[in-house]
Structure 1
Amino acid sequence: MYRFLLTPRWLAAAALTVVAAIVMVMLGNWQLRRYHERTEINDRIDSANSVEAVPITSVLSAPTAAGTPGSAPGKSLAWTKVTVTGRYDQATEIQARGRTVDGEVGFEIVTPLILDDGTAVLVDRGWVPAGEGGALAAPVAPAAPSGRVTVVGQIHLSESRPAPVERRDGRLDTRRVSIPRLATELPFPVYGAYVLLTEQTPAADPAFVPIPISHEDAWQNGGYAVQWWIFAGMAFVLFGWQARREALGLNPQAPTKDPQAPVEDRVAAADQRRAEKAEK
């Protein structure tokens, strides 16, 4: 009674079911990889206080020329705890506007730290509120310490969308910390990621509010992976259910080849096909 599965129509349906299931399994596997990537990032965020900082030069490629940033690190290095020593260059300090912390809009102050070899790392020293004139009013930010400074922080990947950069209130003003865009405004080679400051020697000014780090939603990707795998199984269940209905003569029948035939003749033809299937 299942010999109809060898007909071209049902063979095509079987092939389509297999292809759809394979695609959905692959999508599930991709979501599983995203789950593991995000879980590793969350682990680095959570372990930052308990692991030793490594020199930034050991994890990031050094830039070679002014105007062009060093190689951008992959997501596998996001939030790695690093340390770097140099001297702040306040003349090229950057203010990133429109940044929200605890529901209040203000600025992140990013200051280049010049290393002994002449390259620079952008250091996000923290958040300060906007001035009294509103969200875009120039902030009052503590000056960077002079002399040699050692910074401990976590690698922050460059923000992907570039934004215009202009000089305002004595600083470079922008909406996003896009390293490739900012590098064109700076007179020294710049590393391909910046550092979110957590500790500093000498100590950072308490007027700065530390930038909170949000965890990745890894469980969402895990849920999507399971959903895609379930959908793949359901494709085979649906195929089997339709095949069973066909075997029992419960699926709607195609009309007779002669559309002009009387309704009674078409009904009789359909009844005859059901009877033939039942005999088989």
Structure 2
Amino acid sequence: MYRFLLTPRWLGILALTLVAAMVMVALGNWQLDRYRGRTAVNERIDAGLRMAPAPLHEALPAPTGGPGTAGPPASEERTFTRVTVTGRYDTDNIVLVRGRTAESKVGFEVVTPLVLADGTAVLVDRGWIPPAPGGAMAQPQVPATPTGEVTVEGRVNPSESGAGTVTRREGRLETRRIAVPQLARELPYPVHGAYLLLDEQTPAADPAFKAVPVGHANNWQNLGYVVQWWIFAAMTLFGYGWVARREARRLAGITDDRPRDRAAA
């Protein structure tokens, strides 16, 4: 009844079906790996919120190059670690990161280099502020930067990718992404290879700043894709079986030589 499955045509259909199912299973496995990776990131974010702050040097290697260079990035295990560090803000090199959203409003994040006692610096994202009247690109009025020694507590964030150009406008640097190596080239000292997202500051930060949360990765979306691809693979195999069975029944009907009841027909 199913000998037709051994014909070249049906063997070709079977091969294509198996290849398609294997590709879908592989795509599901890839999404499963992404789900596990994003879940691990979320767990590190949550752990960083619970932990007591450690000294900066325990989480982020100091830069060893000269002025205008960035140090090595934080290891994966140390990313989102909560740290504390003391230094002085460099008010001559404030960075405005435009096109950032908070509470559905577009504005700027203010990143300021914190210069440490050893002459190196770490970039500190002090928070979000709205633009000046005139549109989302209007340069904002930046709250006063504390002078003198400042102690910062924050979380280690990796350098952002996909950065555009860094420009200087009205005495301040502007960019769209916090790309540490690119920003380091504009600064007169070596810079640590990751930036800090401010949690607390002594003296206290200006209340005009809105805290920037660490965004959790959407790992459940990847898990949904896993289920989707594996269901597609199962449907592909089921579809092959259903079509083969229908063809077998059709052939059985054609070769059935038993007399039919014309009246019943």
TM-score (norm 2): 0.84
User: Which amino acid is the alignment partner of residue 21 of structure 1?
Assistant: A
Give the drift of 1:28. 0.9
Task: Indicate the structure (1 or 2) with the bigger Cα radius of gyration.
Answer: 1
SS of equivalent to 2:124: strand
Runs of 5+ unmatched residues, structure 2: 259-265
**Counterpart amino acid of residue 3 in structure 2:** R
Report what 1:267 is aligned to: none
Q: Any idea what the Cα deviations from partners look like across 1:182-224, whole Å, max 9, x if unmatched?
A: 1221122222221110111232222221113333222111111
3-state secondary structure, aligned to 2:147: coil
CA distance in 2, matches of 1:24, 1:73: 35
2:232 counterpart letter in structure 1: F
| d(CA) in 2 for partners of 1:133, 1:244 | 69
State the partner residue of 1:259: none
- 1:182 is matched with 183
Partner of 1:127: 128
- Which residue matches 2:262? none
Equivalent AA in structure 2 for residue 162 of structure 1? A
Cα distance, 1:6 vs structure 2: 2.1
Task: List aligned pairs for 1:228-267, cutoff 5 A.
Answer: 228-249=229-250
- Shift of the alpha carbon at 1:133? 4.4
Higher mean C-alpha deviation, range 71-80 or range 43-52 = 71-80
* In 1, Cα distance between equivalents of 2:251 and 2:191: 70
The alpha-carbon deviation at position 101 of structure 1 amounts to 1.8
- Specify the SS of the correspondent of 2:57: helix
Q: In the TM superposition, what whole-angstrom CA distance separates every residue of 1:29-72 from its partner, at most 9, and x where no partner exists?
A: 11112222222333333444321223333333433323332334
Shift of 1:233: 1.3
Structure 1 match to 2:85: 84
Amino acid at match of 1:10: W
The normalised TM-score by structure 1 is: 0.80
Over 3 Å counting, the alpha-carbon distance change for 1:56 and 1:195 in structure 2 is same
How far apart are the structure 2 equivalents of 1:237 and 1:133? 60
Q: Distance in 2 between matches of 1:97 and 1:4?
A: 65
Alignment of 1:219-234 (within 5 A): 219-234=220-235
Aligned pairs, how many?
Answer: 257
Give the drift of 1:239: 1.5
The aligned residue for residue 149 of structure 1 is: 150
- Greater shift, 161-170 or 215-224, is seen at 161-170
**Counterpart position of 1:10:** 10
Match of 2:101 in 1: 100
1:195 correspondence with 2:196 = yes
Q: CA deviation at 1:123?
A: 0.3
Alpha-carbon distance in 2 for matches of 1:229, 1:29: 9
Q: Per the alignment, in what secondary structure is the counterpart of residue 201 of structure 2?
A: strand
Tell me the amino acid that sits aligned with residue 122 of structure 1: L
Q: CA deviation at 1:156?
A: 2.5
- Give the fraction of aligned pairs with identical amino acids, expressed as a percent: 57
- In the other structure, the counterpart of 2:169 is 168
What secondary structure, in the 3-state scheme, does the structure 1 residue paired with 2:64 have? coil
